[in-house]
Chain A
Amino acid sequence: MSSASGSDTTSSAPNHTVRLYGDALDRPPLIDPRRTSTRRNPAASLMRLTPYLKPYAVVFFSMLGLALVAVLLSILTPLITRRIIDGPVVEGDKEWLFALGAVALVIGLGESMLNFIRRWTMGPAMLGMETGIRLDMYAKLQRLPMSFHSRWQSGQLLSRIMSDLSTIRRFSAFGLTFMIVNTVQIIVVTILLINMYWPLGVVVLLSVIPVVWLCLANERVYTKLSRRIQDETGDVASSVEESIQGLRVVKAFGRVDHVFNRFTKRAQSLHDTSIERVRNVSKFWTFLEVIPTLTMIIVLAIGAVAAAQERLTLGTLVAFITLMLSLIWPIAALGFLLSMAQDAMTAADRICEMFDAEETIVGGDVVLDDPKGALRFENVAFQFHDADRPVLHDLNLDIRPGETIALVGGTGSGKSTLTALVPRLADVTAGRITLDGVDIRDLDLVALRRMVATAFEDPTLFSMSVRENLTLGRPDATEDEIAEAIEVAQAGFVHDLPWGLDTRIGEQGMSLSGGQRQRLALARAVLVRPAVLVLDDTLSALDIHTEALVEEALKRVLVGVTGIVVAHRASTVLLADRVAMLEDGTITHVGTHHDLLATVPEYRELLSADFDAEEVLDGMSPSERELAEMEGSLR
């Protein structure tokens, strides 16, 4: 389609909403702070979301008013009808007939109109509220540290941001209104009944006791069920996500049945809990419908006796019972509405859990104007929250500005953890890391991450254009700078992609080989022109021929940049000025490659020569690289 239609779509979002929620990332969520009470309270959780209703408060309350008026009108129409039949029709007055007919028409159309206005405005307003919470949640999730994300199954997050939110929206768009309307109706009718004949009125009032009791008794059971269903929905979503993302491994091992059984177990348990809820509500809803009917029977019996004793007239009894009939539906509907309310509350509870997760990693306010890149680890330790031993401990390392340090260590010695500490993807649990003498926890987080760029061992590409993926860390990079970064990372294959730098890559786009992805990740890191460049085994998937070219180029880039290079191979180590050897979570040796090779047997063990077949073969037929890349890009 043409580009014009798209820009329309964007601009058609109401401005006030954009103004209101476009800044979600830069402010704390609008949600009310958590009360001090330690126990979770679903009702309180729902109340905490009211700030999101605020922009729509006027709409909300006027629509509530409209709903009440509409109920009145629906009472009025039968009255008009009776007037017409009793009046003009019986009397044969045609003019009156037409006049009253017109009145009936106007009232009827008025009713539809009110209905129309309410539907037209209420739903969209509540959608606005839903969107507000959704955007704040997304912002919150983006701010939460890695430790949160590794603990939470993604399906649970997904079910919160989609299913739970619409549960809340549905309740506020409709359930809440009618809970209020019905309650008002019940109260008014009960007062009228008491006025009419108080002894029977008291009977009706007493019937409220079993209703309230039933609601309270059911609340506990239902809340648990509702919560369980929402949690299990999240579990099913997690199963789904995992099975889809790990599909290739599942297939390679022929474990379709195994995965299917795991999914079925969860789906079955969701099914069973849903059935339990069906059983619960079938009773609850029905009993709420039965109680007013039973009350009516009692009123009839007592009323009959009272009438027999001439304490009330037959006419009053008739009027009383007629009025009472109008109570049945509002009370019966409470069952359905309360279930909705409970669902909304537990959903709100689940959402608040996310909002309440602590943002353990927040920036300070120091901004370094001209970072030199002096990086210092002082007695650094890191420990996972559930571990009994630290991954890193007593770690000291001083990296001078512009110096490149190679980090060498066995599998699982803590190299990747160490690199994650620098951009504060995780925080030290003891000691401190300073950049130009400032504790990195005192630095502005955005500024810190602008100074530190990491190329990860498992490069993440997003479903966007190559250009967008490359300029992730520096959106204002010029074409020349992009070209240079591509050159450094030997990622020239991007020019051969069907749409060049505009080709969409990543999961929804063209898939690339491991080596190609690593090269893009490297280019992305280089393009940031950081003060500190961290390469976390970024070259492992490259053949040595390409690696050699990349290393050659990196040497240029690393001039004047503080570098940390995680290395498995001697060739990569040679990029560095000094080598730090990591053993059992601490740095045991620091020195030049040759010194360590000569004096540290463990180091020799780790870095003795290895060899790559592709290097040599590639050397033989460099001209055919292009075709080779092509296969990679099509894979």
Chain B
Amino acid sequence: MSQGTEKLSRRERRRLEQEQQQRITDVDTGRPVDRDTRDGRDERLDRGELDWRGVRAEEAQDGEITEKASILLRDRSRRLLGSLLSPYAKYLWVLVAAIVAENIARLSSPWLVSRGIDLGVPPLMQGGSARMLIETVLLMVVAVTIQATSRIFFLRVSGRIGQAVLLELRKRVFRHFQRLDVKFHDRYTSGRAVSRLTSDMDAIAELMAGGFDGLITAVLTLIGVSIMLMVLDWRLGLICLLSLVFVGMLARWFSRASSRTWRKVREASAMVIVQFVESMTGIKAVQSYRRQPRNQEIFTDLSHRFRQINIKTFHLFAIFQPGIQAIGNITIAVILVVGGLYVMDGSMTVGVLAAFLLYLRQFFQPMQEIGQFYNTFQSAISALEKLSGVLEEQPEVKEATDPVPLPKARGDVTFDHVDFSYVEDVPVLPDLDLHIPAGQTVALVGTTGAGKTTIAKLISRFYDPTAGRVLLDGVDLRDLSDDDLRRAVVMVTQENFMFDGSVADNIGFGRPEASRDEIIAAASAVGAHAFISALPQGYDTDVAKRGGRLSAGQRQLVAFARAFLADPAVLILDEATSSLDIPSERLVQQALQTILADRTAVIIAHRLSTVEIADRVLVLEHGQVLEDGPPAQLMDTSGGRYAALHEAWVKSLA
């Protein structure tokens, strides 16, 4: 009975672990794993959803994942798992030794008890010596000690390895997401990236935390018992092995069905996460536009889908696990009858049959254990599929393999016959040639979509040119290390993202090693000091989530101070002052005169007052430079665009 209960509970424990995997998931809205093996988007493309969610290019083609692709995916994730575990291979034998020791010690207890009763008590009853009994008791104490220490040892070492692997994987994937280029992130979207790094990680955490001890014990027991069975009676042994064929068939079915289902669980859970993150990020708009009921409806639908697909995994396992048990129980009944017949015809003794039946129980129990583990493994593997897919993505904007060192850039920027397009055949910059000498302040002027922002993004290497080169101090940006490039070039946009933390932290983001005095100096330089000082805790005021505490103008000033503190050789300002009121903007412009004096600057602005401080103005249209020269000179070019601009401005001032 003790054995039965033990196995039942252990089995259930495995079950638990496997269930935990289910909280993970992911949806693939973009190009998740692999260009050719996208799957599972079908359920999202139903009509009801189409109505509100709208259409998006990548979703046009879709289909079930092919068997071959599936194998490919699994291989890739197994390789990843292997590479994560390989540093710890040397511990494997220590762990196995600990498990073996623990099991021997555990199993010796009942044997020692019976020894104590059989050999220790009778002498005592006859008034003899208690030596035998004391000896047995001492042996049991030793056995318990061994059992306890080896178990603690095993749990700690395997736990440590599991946690180390997890930390390594977290760091690897996080780092990789940061390395991947903007283009990738445009496509992948934040909700999915978040679900990769949270719920997918949890699935793997479960595999790592899941008692490997149970698995090792199970495998060892299975091997040992199989040998015992064959030795005891080869005919009955063969019947057992025959039952393995059915177990194998069941496992094969389960393997296929569950890997498909686990994949869908990941996707369904990512859908839930994406919807959750999006509605929490946009809660202000949700509440003021009374979107809550519709959101609730959508979330209810996604949660039910998540639940439905989870139920499917439960059901698959509800067939698999009792299925193994049923095969085992049928085999036991068959062996009982066949063995009984053998005993009757005298080809087998009763003792052997009894022993065989006892061992037979232990033959099927480890299989259930392995089944549990397999389910957990399947779930973790499908999470690993997603993660290995991310890790396999290579940034199109690659880090230089053999970077040219540029410790102190002067800030000389050159566009050498640069072509660029976001989508094929729609050129944004056709063959741009441009040289900005170090220290020059250049203003880009032009209609919406003239390519101003694109030029800014190319200098800060968010994208690489389709053809041609962008050079900094004569070095192709592609040959610069990321550190050197980012030290030299900083871009401030309208985005003004605020990180969790204080105002000082957010300014300090420009140069993390900056002192408080330097931070205050930077804030003062851009005219942000006054409002920051007026905040409840001054520079230490928490900006609240995403800077919710600050107005758009204030966020812009903080972002400006941040850029100033970074002290780059090339500063790019893309509409960085659009939310400022006029006096603040004026202050910023005054500050700019000094800030930009000794560095290269590219300024994109609507307002000519900002343009005026430039050394040079480029009038752009369709990615082409129409006019190029110092503002004063362009002003005098009769019939020129800038001249017309300036004239209009002067008029508006009057």
Contacts and interface: CB of A to CB of B under 8 A. Distances in A.
A95 to B, nearest CB: 11
A71 B2 CA distance: 11
Given A248-B493, A252-B491, A611 B607 contact: yes
Contacts of B310: 123, 127
Contacts of A89: 339-340, 343-344, 350, 353
B185 A247 contact: yes
B20 A271 contact: no
Contacts of A459: 285
Contact of B285 (A242, A253, A456, A508): A456
Interface in A490-521: 498-499, 502-511, 513-515
Contacts of B336: 81, 84, 100-101, 104
Interface stretch (B76-84, B233-241, B295-303, B409-417): B295-303
Contacts of A499: 54-55
Contacts of B52: 464-465, 468
B282 interface: yes
Interface string B46-57: 111111111111
Given A275-B159, A462-B282, A610-B607, A7 B622 contact: no
A297 interface: yes
A384 interface: yes
A237 B152 CA distance: 31
B266 to A, nearest CB: 12
Nearest to A617: B447
Q: Which of B170, B269, B321 lies at the interface centre, i.e. has the most chain A CB atoms within 10 A of its CB? A: B170
A271 B304 contact: no
Interface string B148-186: 100110011001100110110011001101110010011
Contacts of B446: 614, 617
A253 B562 contact: yes
Interface string B619-640: 1011000000000000000000
Contact of B329 (A109, A153, A611, A631): A109
A185 interface: yes
Interface string B514-556: 0000000000000000010010100000001110111111100
A75 interface: yes
B15 interface: yes
B579 interface: yes
Nearest to B548: A150
Q: Which of A24, A131, A241, A453 lies at the interface centre, i.e. has the most chain B CB atoms within 10 A of its CB? A: A241
B296 A135 contact: yes
A453 B46 contact: no
Given A18-B304, A88-B340, A621 B509 contact: no
A282 B481 CA distance: 46
Interface stretch (B86-94, B270-278, B431-439, B592-600): B270-278
A175 B20 CA distance: 12
Interface string B116-152: 1100111011010010010011001100100110011
Contact of A127 (B311, B322, B606): B311
A97 B341 contact: yes
Contacts of A618: 447-448
Contacts of A275: 159-160, 163
A428 interface: no
Interface in B1-57: 1-2, 4-6, 8-9, 12-13, 15-16, 19-20, 22-23, 29, 41-57
Q: Which of B124, B198, B277 lies at the interface centre, i.e. has the most chain A CB atoms within 10 A of its CB? A: B198
Contacts of B185: 244, 247-248
B116 A453 contact: no
A229 to B, nearest CB: 10
Interface in A110-158: 111-113, 115-116, 119-120, 123-124, 127-128, 130-131, 134-135, 138-139, 141-143, 146, 149-155, 157-158
Nearest to B498: A246
B293 interface: yes
Given A411-B554, A540-B578, A166 B140 contact: no
Contacts of B534: 412
Contacts of B47: 3, 6-7
B295 to A, nearest CB: 6
A82 to B, nearest CB: 8
A123 B314 contact: yes
Contact of B322 (A119, A166, A503, A634): A119
B581 A411 contact: yes
Given A154-B280, A243-B178, A498-B57, A131 B307 contact: yes
B220 to A, nearest CB: 19
Interface string A153-189: 1110111011101110110011100100010010000
A509 B284 contact: no
A304 B121 contact: yes
A278 B23 contact: no
A585 B91 CA distance: 66
B362 to A, nearest CB: 12
B616 interface: no
Given A241-B190, A296-B109, A463-B53, A74 B329 contact: no
A134 B303 contact: yes
Q: Which of B6, B186, B333, B486 lies at the interface centre, i.e. has the most chain A CB atoms within 10 A of its CB? A: B333
Contacts, number: 663
B609 A611 contact: yes
Band of interface residues on B: 35 or more
Given A97-B337, A318-B117, A141 B280 contact: yes
Interface string A442-467: 00001001101110111110111111
B117 A300 contact: yes
Contacts of A412: 531, 534, 550-551, 553-554
B193 interface: yes
B252 interface: no
A625 B331 CA distance: 79
A253 B510 contact: yes
A362 interface: no
Contacts of B492: 252
A238 interface: yes
A119 B317 CA distance: 8
Nearest to B462: A251
Contacts of A12: 308
A101 B340 contact: yes
Interface stretch (B400-408, B465-473, B646-654): B646-654
A606 B292 contact: no
B531 A502 contact: no
Interface stretch (B67-75, B222-230, B254-262, B422-430): B422-430
B160 to A, nearest CB: 6
A92 interface: yes
A630 B449 contact: yes
A613 interface: yes
Q: Which of B45, B63, B315, B449 lies at the interface centre, i.e. has the most chain A CB atoms within 10 A of its CB? A: B449
A472 B42 CA distance: 26
A585 to B, nearest CB: 10
B426 A614 contact: no
Given A274-B163, A543-B606, A174 B16 contact: yes
Contacts of A279: 156, 159
Interface in A586-628: 605-618, 620-621, 624-625, 627-628
Contact of A411 (B282, B423, B509, B584): B584
A321 interface: yes
28 contacts: A1-B41, A7-B46, A13-B308, A78-B1, A88-B340, A115-B322, A115-B325, A123-B310, A131-B307, A142-B287, A142-B292, A166-B22, A240-B197, A240-B198, A243-B174, A246-B497, A253-B566, A255-B509, A263-B174, A282-B159, A290-B147, A314-B121, A318-B117, A425-B284, A462-B291, A468-B51, A540-B579, A631-B449
The 5 closest A-B pairs by CB, nearest first: A6-B46, A254-B486, A108-B329, A465-B54, A628-B449
Given A154-B545, A625-B447, 9 more contacts: A10-B46, A251-B178, A252-B490, A263-B171, A290-B147, A300-B133, A465-B51, A465-B55, A540-B552
